[in-house]
Structure 1
Amino acid sequence: MLQPDVPTAVRAGEELNETALATYLSLGPIARVAQFPGGYSNLTYLLTIGKTDYVLRRPPVGAKAIRGGHDMGREFRVLSLLREAGYTKIPKPVAYCDDETVIGSPFYVMERVPGVILRAGSAPKLGLSETTMRHLSEALVDTLVELHALPVEPTLLQLGKPDGYVQRQVDGWRNRYLAAQTDDIPAMTTLATYLTEQMPPQNPAVTLLHNDFKYDNVVLSDDLSELRAVLDWEMCTVGDPLMDVGTSLSYWAEAGDDPFRKSFNLTWLPGNLTRQEVANRYADRSGRDVGNILYYYVFGLFKNAVVMQQIYARYKQGLTKDERFAGLLAGVKALSVVGVKAVETGTL
């Protein structure tokens, strides 16, 4: 039987002030606090209060140095606006706190959605059948299409400015890389130049964008037959839907990819769609032209590399002691090389 995502003991240096937290929430005494070990960005905790499980999200230590990132208030607002727009495949938001004296940083709390989260580190050991993986990979694509079909106006349009979205994203992630750069990586420079010089015309389509859509950001039912909730809305906005597809494709490792890429997703397991099949299914289900999807895929690789660079920079500065972060510089190099190869070969 599949096990739900299991939290463990809170890591040293990432503890919560339980007394202050319980006082602020006023939901009753906190019976248990644990930490979800997955993820490389925000810190995620399980709070058990009475008979109800909640999830608390807060920025990582040292995140103040990342301008515009780890905005807990915005993520809480996204969940609230999605509920207002009628989208229910999300956790119910409960409380947001911007008073840093409570636990040392802003945070928000939501109800926990019970179920299974398939993670790259454990899913390959579960013996999931090709039929199951085919069904799940198709369900992921269809859920992304569903998100992109939500009416943006008037409620969700509050989440961003779609005009010039691609331009702002390319400029913004290039500048973030320069701000966090620790080593000379020629492939990253090559990708930044490509993204600037080959930028497509503005897409007239405007949709909700999740911007981090992958297996370990969805909750499945225990029997894997149902996708119950989409998680991690930190980077949600509105804009060109192909940017969202490109980001998902950048996570979509295939069987022939290098071990590093396969360590971050389980899309390489037998039965999953290939990257090209993902693009084709998205086009079929959404009716959108994906002829220029290579550009968006390369942007996704570049963005993911920059995220790793930012985390590695925090680790190198001693702002986090999580040893998983020590090897992320190799990941920056690996993803940027993959991006250059995709440009050179013209294939996903």
Structure 2
Amino acid sequence: MRPDTAPVRHGEELNAARLSAWLHSQLPDAGTGLSIEQFPNGHSNLVYLIRTGGQEYVLRRPPLGPVAPKAHDMAREFRVLDAVHSHFPEAPRVFLLCEDPAIAGATFFLMERRNGIVLRDEPPSEWASIPDYPAKVSEAFIDCLVRLQQIDVSEPKLAALGRPEGFLERQVRGWSDRWQRSKTEELPEMDRVIGWLHKIPPSGAPTLVHNDFKLDNVMLRPDASRVEAVLDWEMATLGDPLVDLGLTLCYWTWASQAQQDDPHPATPVITTHRGWYTRDQFIHRYVSQTGRDVTQLPWYEVLGVFKLAVILQQIYYRFHVGQTTDERFRAFDRRVRSLVRMAAELISRNS
């Protein structure tokens, strides 16, 4: 498998001495020595691989600089994973939470390291011997989403993770507010999208909602047969399950004009390659296993594209005002405009 860690980026280093002292105060048998590498592909939280005494841990902390209200809440993500893991083994096990910013600059937690394949732009070379891997991954990914939504959320620790009543209204209001706080230019099409989203459909029975369920947030087994882990649980809550389906489909790229004309596509293109499930096949497999009514699915798809646009805009805002110098974020304003066009296109198709 391709290496998934790299040296820590300049400016994002951890204080190894403080972290080591804290680890040994919490884990007396942690052993000697400490090495720190970084998982470099994420765009939001900072994620590190910690090796000590022959053990490996993953450390997650918020990005540098000010963060949006209620965003990047590591203590909450720790509680989510602690509640979910025993019901859904694809959720990594968590070990320790530290709310002392003197240790790593912000609240952070440690969780187990999972090993697997994270798909982004290209498949790993070892999958050359698995000619049907696109279909296998498509099925494994959909089936994992279905398993997540089948968890009984009446269990007390799970029931405490969210308030299903009024969930969709809060989603539209909250993400609209985040857009207003982070926008760096006026986009009239975005105003139209927000207005359209205020026509909120009735919700079905609540389930666990991951809120960022996409291909590069799952780890796959080397034989492509199953999802080994689901990552990035910071936005997980209880609510309408079609929110996850709509967001997932916005990443399951279709050959829209907005994508074809954009040299900076906002969503991955790997799912447009031969052998991957089409969006219709994706929806059919999901419905055949859940029996859910997807008549109003276009609304959830627009919500998904809208949320992704706001997430990227928040990241771009941090670059724009100098809170981060990560050059990966320089062109995110173009990606935001691409997503706004995509949302407007979806609305036009379904008007």
TM-score by length of 2: 0.92
Q: Tell me the equivalent position of 2:72.
A: 70
Instruction: Give a deviation string over 1:166-196, Cα, whole Å, max 9, x none.
Output: 0000000000000001101112111101101
TM-fit CA distance, 1:278? 1.6
- Give yes or no for contact 2:60–2:109 (8 Å, CA) kept in 1: yes
Specify whether residues 344 and 253 from structure 1 end up closer, same or farther in structure 2 by C-alpha distance, changes over 3 A only. Answer: same
Aligned length: 340
Secondary structure of 2:49 counterpart:
strand
- Give yes or no for contact 1:131–1:271 (8 Å, CA) kept in 2: yes
Q: Find the partner of 2:167 among 162, 165, 179.
A: 165
In 1, the alpha carbon distance for the partners of 2:204 and 2:297 equals: 15
Q: Find the partner of 1:18 among 16, 19, 27.
A: 16
1:251-270 paired onto structure 2 within 5 Å:
251-255=251-255, 257-258=259-260, 260-261=264-265, 264=268, 266-270=270-274
In 2, the alpha carbon distance for the partners of 1:290 and 1:297 equals: 11
Specify whether residues 7 and 147 from structure 1 end up closer, same or farther in structure 2 by C-alpha distance, changes over 3 A only. Answer: same
Residue 6 in 1 paired to residue 8 in 2?
no
Q: Tell me the equivalent position of 1:300.
A: 304
TM-fit CA distance, 1:226? 2.7
Secondary structure of 2:132 counterpart:
helix
Secondary structure of 1:306 counterpart:
helix
Q: Tell me the equivalent position of 1:149.
A: 150
TM-fit CA distance, 1:127? 6.6
In 2, the alpha carbon distance for the partners of 1:160 and 1:318 equals: 34
Q: Tell me the equivalent position of 2:197.
A: 195
Q: Tell me the equivalent position of 1:47.
A: 50
TM-fit CA distance, 1:123? 2.8
TM-fit CA distance, 1:107? 0.6
Residue 131 of structure 1 aligns with an amino acid whose one-letter code is D
In 2, the alpha carbon distance for the partners of 1:288 and 1:24 equals: 48
TM-fit CA distance, 1:223? 2.4
Calculate percent identity across the aligned residue pairs.
40
Q: Find the partner of 1:327 among 331, 341, 347.
A: 331
Q: Tell me the equivalent position of 1:99.
A: 100
In 1, the alpha carbon distance for the partners of 2:277 and 2:103 equals: 45
Specify whether residues 167 and 9 from structure 1 end up closer, same or farther in structure 2 by C-alpha distance, changes over 3 A only. Answer: same
In 2, the alpha carbon distance for the partners of 1:265 and 1:179 equals: 30
In 2, the alpha carbon distance for the partners of 1:337 and 1:252 equals: 16
TM-score by length of 1: 0.93
Q: Find the partner of 2:35 among 29, 32, 37.
A: 32
TM-fit CA distance, 1:20? 0.7
In 2, the alpha carbon distance for the partners of 1:126 and 1:247 equals: 29
Residue 291 in 1 paired to residue 284 in 2?
no
TM-fit CA distance, 1:87? 1.9
Q: Tell me the equivalent position of 2:240.
A: 240
- Give yes or no for contact 1:92–1:110 (8 Å, CA) kept in 2: yes
Residue 162 of structure 1 aligns with an amino acid whose one-letter code is P
CA RMSD of aligned residues (A): 1.8
Instruction: Give a deviation string over 1:270-295, Cα, whole Å, max 9, x none.
Output: 21112222222111111111111000
Q: Tell me the equivalent position of 1:206.
A: 206
The gaps in structure 2 that reach 5 residues or longer are: 25-29
1:213-228 paired onto structure 2 within 5 Å:
213-228=213-228
In 2, the alpha carbon distance for the partners of 1:133 and 1:41 equals: 27
TM-fit CA distance, 1:204? 3.5
Q: Find the partner of 1:310 among 311, 314, 329.
A: 314
In 2, the alpha carbon distance for the partners of 1:255 and 1:126 equals: 27
TM-fit CA distance, 1:38? 0.7
In 2, the alpha carbon distance for the partners of 1:111 and 1:296 equals: 33
The gaps in structure 1 that reach 5 residues or longer are: none
Q: Find the partner of 1:184 among 183, 186, 196.
A: 186
Residue 156 of structure 1 aligns with an amino acid whose one-letter code is L
